[in-house]
Structure 1
Amino acid sequence: MMAAALLALHTAYAQEKEEQPYVPEKDPQVLQQLDEWQDWKFGMIIHWGPYSQWGVVESWSICPEDEGWTQRKPYGIPYYEYLKKYEALGNTFNPVKFDPSKWAKAAKAAGMKYMVFTTKHHDGFCMFDTKQTDYRVTAPQCAFSKDPRANIAKEVFDAFRNEGIHAGAYFSKPDWHTEYYWWPYFPPKDRNVNYDVKKYADRWQKFRQFTYNQIEELMTGYGKIDILWLDGGWVRPRKTQTKESLSWSKTPPQDQDIDMAGITAMARRHQPGLIVVDRSVHGPFENYRTPEQQIPDKPLSYPWETCMTMGGSWSYVPDDQYKPVIKIVHNLVDIVAKGGNYLLNVGPGPDGQLHEAAYTTMHEIGNWMQVNGDAIYGTRAVAPYKDGKVCFTRKKDGSVYAIYLLDKDEQLPATISFSGITPAKGARVSLLGAKEKLGWKKTDGAVEIKIPASLQRKPWQYAVAIKIDKVS
């Protein structure tokens, strides 16, 4: 994932150009899976690797770009000295308290319906039992390799599926460890391939095959995979470059075509209906888009998902500060009202445990979802999406939810008013978590919902959902 400063740069470039059109999927099985995915709404992404031992940003400190998120610590350490120490982290990685079933139970309790796990980040270290490289958690030199849970990705996928949570595999297209991407004969200059792919076409073809083989391993040996979530959008055909992607290269851009058509066809032979997300590469292999650390200002006309950190970092930081639950719930409501999904990140520590704050945060989210989940799951956007402190979602049966966002310590008001949605004559209006039927009336073009005093006195938190079973 990219740091906040990089995101700001990307956003600036995105504002300068017109967004490329979304290319709809044609495979009926994928379309069905994509529709189901849009019902799930809430998921977890997990960034984890040997870098957690140092509490540094995932992968980026070995990238030779002079940016804030790539800084090596201590500052000034020679690059190759640092790289050698970083790559040796795989040998000492020994998460003896790794317990994916605990993560999965917490995610289920929070109301999360799917997860995405980092099988390999840009540094190339594989959290699965690949046969393509020794730079993996199951290699003999790795401290954790003798543990029966050493094939971490498999353990994670199995644990989450056992809780009824759908599995997604994060996979980085660039690989800064393999000689087929960063050839040791040349020094790396930036995040991109460090040799001329036309001049050394055979080497690039070996990288394509290496990538294909690793993805095929994930598609064949790890059970049902619902999403292939590909990161590293600078690895793309030259013809698909945009002003945004060109900004990611300090060197002349190359045709980094890894044959996504072939990879996708292979992956779907093994996993029919697989959702493929080639992030930021707009085209037929980007089944949904993934705004990072941000929520769009308005609904989007295609499937999308905001990926965002629960704390301040994608990867483990010892004293990470977690977002307040009210902020996360309000984000979820805002995203869902605009038709998107919310993918929330946690970063396990070097021993395999999550911050206690991650568990308490998920527990509190779950308490809210137990009462209000029907206003979230299986919904679609409905105009006007939001009016003041009220967000709207629509169920497939035509009923609509008006979700009122409470401020911190705010008591439920005596009336909730909004415009743009009007109950039909005879409609039942009710509050999730309460049995009473609510009265309503039209006033000056707005709808006014009356909240009984008995409900106002209840200790509601974060947001309340008002169900309108029929709208006019």
Structure 2
Amino acid sequence: MSKDYVVPNDSLVQKNLHKWQGLKFGLFMHWGTYSQWGVVESWSICPEDEGWTQRRGPYGADYYGYKKAYENLQTTFNPTKFSPEKWVAAAKYAGMKYVVFTTKHHDGFTMFDTKQSDYKITSPKTPFSTNPRSNVAKEVFSAFSKENFMIGAYFSKPDWHNENYWWPYFPPKDRNVNYDPAKYPERWQKFKDFTFNQIQELMTGYGKVDILWLDGGWVRPKNTIDASVDWQKTIPYDQDIDMTKIATAARVKQPGLIVVDRTVAGQYENYTTPEQQVPDAPLDHPWESCITMGNSWSYVPGDHYKSANEIVTLLVKIVSRGGNLLMNIGPGPDGDWDPVAYNRLKQIGDWIKINGEGIYNSEAIAPYSEGNTYYTKVGKSVYAFVLAAKDKDAVVLPATISLHLKDQGKVKKITLLGINQKIKYTVVQGVININIPASLQTQNGLNQAAVFKIQY
């Protein structure tokens, strides 16, 4: 095992983790008042000089004016096209099996009906509060639960709206708490209580929750800081939020809850979450790559969306390494996705319908990949995914494909999924050579990736 990964000691958590690992493909959604401006979620109110924290628009020149205008977005947020059933139908068709939804990002605006703050979608200040579906997180979880998705609540540990995180007495300096919690322990305790209470609300009144996906890894005990990681080097204070209390109480309400305390290695990071990247080799513990379908995590008008070919390639590569793909789509200010997102999910679903048997409940198998071919194993069958050329949808196959699979036993049969035609092959010194007839090389009608099933 990775030196930092701790296997959960709760057998119910282990069981849920095993189930989750078999699902392979999930939907992520970043959504909040920031969608109205088309900016990088909460980050423009963070006083750091990074590309993703830049303030733009009429208020950009003055930090306090900008933050006020940003927080005032609450008074115009009215996503009247919100219909989670539409998202469920599209995600289900695409073969997604779990959902992670942003109940609260770093700005502190909650997409659920918290009793701890008035900075929420159900506040009378927010026009959408009069809508019968205004408790958005509840509606999302309910709609996806009905179709048997595993439910994940994304929750930001830092809260830049809360006076006990960014104390108004001091200006905020960066993403971190703006005072020393050791010097003002009562104030920090109030923040810990606030966080605990909000998470308890999500665990109590929102149906079955399977995953608590905690973001904002700078809120962590000082002794867990990894000085070799650039952003962790800049954490000035011990920001221990008492994860033992949070996780224990959450699991009383939601037995077997998977907790993902991102980047904080140990017993509360039940799986790891490489962001916008695919590991080169299998990892020896449960993991998921979280990757955007567009360029941005949250809605940006006219965003560039990945092609179906790019998304299927990502899914195949990740699954061949034993991981899950959590793909993000940011709803717009009107409460719906860009039509392009629906189109991509339809294309992926068309592919999954033929080839999904090699994806779900699969495991990684050496040599994992060779050239343009990627492997998975389900039961006694190995699946070889031959990817289409970059930027092409149609798959063109070579005359011969050689597979170097070790010690699997005697090959009984090889089929090409979606094609009702006998596949000829020879096995020479353990190497499987598949012969592709000329008609199947270019006229196979297969898109994104062709999948050979090798039965032993």
**TM-score normalized by the length of structure 2:** 0.96
Paired position in structure 2 for 1:448? 433
Paired position in structure 2 for 1:64? 47
Paired position in structure 1 for 2:205? 221
CA contact (8 A) 2:411 2:455 kept: no
Distance 1:345 1:70 in 2: 20
Distance 2:264 2:380 in 1: 35
1:415 aligns with 2:415: no
Q: Deviations over 1:34-88 (max 9, x none)?
A: 0000100000100000000010110000000011100000385110000000000
SS in 2 for 1:394: strand
Distance 1:68 1:91 in 2: 27
Paired position in structure 1 for 2:381? 399
Matches within 5 A, 1:316-327: 316-327=299-310
Paired position in structure 1 for 2:190? 206
C-alpha deviation, 1:128, in angstroms:
0.1
CA contact (8 A) 2:26 2:327 kept: yes
Paired position in structure 2 for 1:466? 452
Distance 1:400 1:84 in 2: 57
C-alpha deviation, 1:464, in angstroms:
1.3
CA contact (8 A) 1:119 1:171 kept: yes
C-alpha deviation, 1:425, in angstroms:
2.8
1:44 aligns with 2:50: no
Distance 1:151 1:369 in 2: 33
Q: 1:102 to 1:59 in 2, by over 3 A?
A: same
1:26 aligns with 2:26: no
Letter in 2 for 1:274: L
User: What is the RMSD of the two structures over their aligned residues, measured on CA atoms?
Assistant: 1.5
Distance 1:398 1:34 in 2: 23
Distance 1:184 1:423 in 2: 64
CA contact (8 A) 1:405 1:463 kept: yes
Q: Where in structure 2 are there 5+ consecutive unaligned residues? A: none
Distance 2:219 2:422 in 1: 55
SS in 2 for 1:144: helix
CA contact (8 A) 1:280 1:286 kept: yes
Q: Deviations over 1:175-212 (max 9, x none)?
A: 00011100111100000000110111001001111000
Paired position in structure 2 for 1:189? 173
1:159 aligns with 2:128: no
Paired position in structure 2 for 1:96? 80
Matches within 5 A, 1:51-200: 51-74=34-57, 76-200=60-184
Paired position in structure 2 for 1:6? none
1:432 aligns with 2:414: no
CA contact (8 A) 1:428 1:437 kept: no
Distance 2:117 2:202 in 1: 14
CA contact (8 A) 1:337 1:381 kept: yes
Paired position in structure 2 for 1:309? 292
Distance 2:228 2:341 in 1: 33
Q: Deviations over 1:247-302 (max 9, x none)?
A: 3465x621100110111011111111111000000111000000000001111101
Distance 1:425 1:393 in 2: 17
CA contact (8 A) 2:211 2:257 kept: yes
Q: Deviations over 1:92-143 (max 9, x none)?
A: 1000111111011100010000010000000000000000000000011111
Q: 1:451 to 1:213 in 2, by over 3 A?
A: same
C-alpha deviation, 1:328, in angstroms:
0.7
Q: 1:249 to 1:63 in 2, by over 3 A?
A: farther
Q: 1:139 to 1:257 in 2, by over 3 A?
A: same
Distance 1:360 1:150 in 2: 27
Letter in 1 for 2:427: K
What is the number of equivalent residue pairs in this alignment? 450
SS in 2 for 1:334: helix
Matches within 5 A, 1:382-393: 382-393=365-376
Q: Deviations over 1:194-243 (max 9, x none)?
A: 01101110010011110000000000111011110000000000110112
CA contact (8 A) 2:103 2:110 kept: yes
SS in 2 for 1:315: coil
Moved more, 213-222 or 70-79: 70-79
C-alpha deviation, 1:26, in angstroms:
1.1
Matches within 5 A, 1:259-298: 259-298=242-281
CA contact (8 A) 2:24 2:323 kept: yes
C-alpha deviation, 1:246, in angstroms:
6.2
C-alpha deviation, 1:443, in angstroms:
4.1
Paired position in structure 2 for 1:368? 351
C-alpha deviation, 1:419, in angstroms:
1.4
Matches within 5 A, 1:9-24: 20-24=3-7
C-alpha deviation, 1:469, in angstroms:
1.6
Letter in 2 for 1:139: S
Letter in 2 for 1:468: I
Distance 1:244 1:210 in 2: 31
Distance 2:407 2:440 in 1: 22
C-alpha deviation, 1:466, in angstroms:
1.1
CA contact (8 A) 2:88 2:144 kept: yes
Give runs of ≥4 in structure 1 deviating > 4 Å: none
CA contact (8 A) 1:43 1:112 kept: yes
Q: 1:331 aligns with which of 309, 314, 321?
A: 314
Distance 2:419 2:380 in 1: 21
**TM-score normalized by the length of structure 1:** 0.93
Q: 1:424 to 1:363 in 2, by over 3 A?
A: same
Letter in 2 for 1:225: V
Q: Deviations over 1:364-415 (max 9, x none)?
A: 00000000000000001111101111111011x2321111112124423332
SS in 2 for 1:401: strand
Moved more, 417-426 or 286-295: 417-426
SS in 2 for 1:417: strand
